[in-house]
């Protein structure tokens, strides 16, 4: 892994990451008329890994569509405890090329199962303090059932298949790398 210094245009701290594009966006609007009702949108998948604080508003705005009556969100945050230990933060690392590819596959699978318009998956890397978001997933669809099911599937599949690792930092100066129990490669203990 190499060290990547992240500037205010992309990141604000130094984190050990493999070099890879940090934000990938699918296709966007293609006007076919002059008024918003006549605009034909192509579906888009927006994937971003960042050391910056995540914004629920920013992510939800990315999936808005005049053709959709529902936007569903999942926001995963750092909680302050685990098995009786006081957690002060989480630290995330990812193998970015593979993580990005796996999230693209998840978005593709979702589109095969539900009629969603836009998807956004943002994941924070580096240190994430208590109460801050480490992952935000958003989906828009014409009706609520599709976006709700898509977001639920996305977080469950992300935890099972995407190479993202977290380390819990405890108040008593200890830490512990956590295994996702949902990972397909994890053994059943």
DSSP annotation of 37: G
Smallest CA-to-CA distance from 100 within 14, 17, 184 is with: 17
Smallest CA-to-CA distance from 118 within 89, 138, 96 is with: 138
Residues 6 or more apart whose Cβ sits within 8 Å of residue 103 = 47, 121, 158, 162
Binding-site residues sit at: 143-144, 159, 166-168
Binding-site residues for substrate sit at: 143-144, 159, 166-168
Smallest CA-to-CA distance from 82 within 160, 181, 187, 185 is with: 181
| C-alpha distances out from residue 23 to 34, 39, 99, 189, Å | 30, 25, 12, 36
d(CA 69, CA 44): 17
């Amino acid at each position: 892994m190499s060290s990547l210094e992240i500037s205010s245009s992309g990141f604000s701290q130094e984190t050990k990451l493999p070099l890879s594009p940090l934000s990938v966006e699918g296709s966007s609007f293609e006007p076919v008329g002059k008024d918003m009702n006549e605009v034909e949108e192509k579906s888009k998948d927006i994937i971003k890994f960042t050391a910056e604080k995540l914004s629920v508003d920013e992510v939800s705005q990315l999936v808005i569509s005049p053709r959709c009556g529902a936007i569903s969100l999942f926001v995963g945050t750092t909680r302050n405890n685990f098995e009786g230990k006081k957690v002060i933060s989480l630290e995330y690392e990812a193998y970015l090329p593979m993580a990005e590819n796996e999230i693209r596959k998840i978005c593709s699978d979702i589109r095969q199962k539900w009629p969603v318009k836009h998807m956004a998956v943002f994941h924070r890397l580096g240190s994430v303090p208590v109460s801050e978001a480490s992952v935000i997933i958003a989906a828009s669809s014409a009706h609520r059932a599709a976006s709700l099911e898509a977001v639920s599937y996305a977080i469950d599949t992300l935890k099972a298949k995407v190479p993202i690792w977290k380390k819990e930092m405890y108040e008593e100066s200890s830490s512990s790398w956590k295994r996702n129990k949902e990972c397909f490669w994890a053994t059943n203990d």
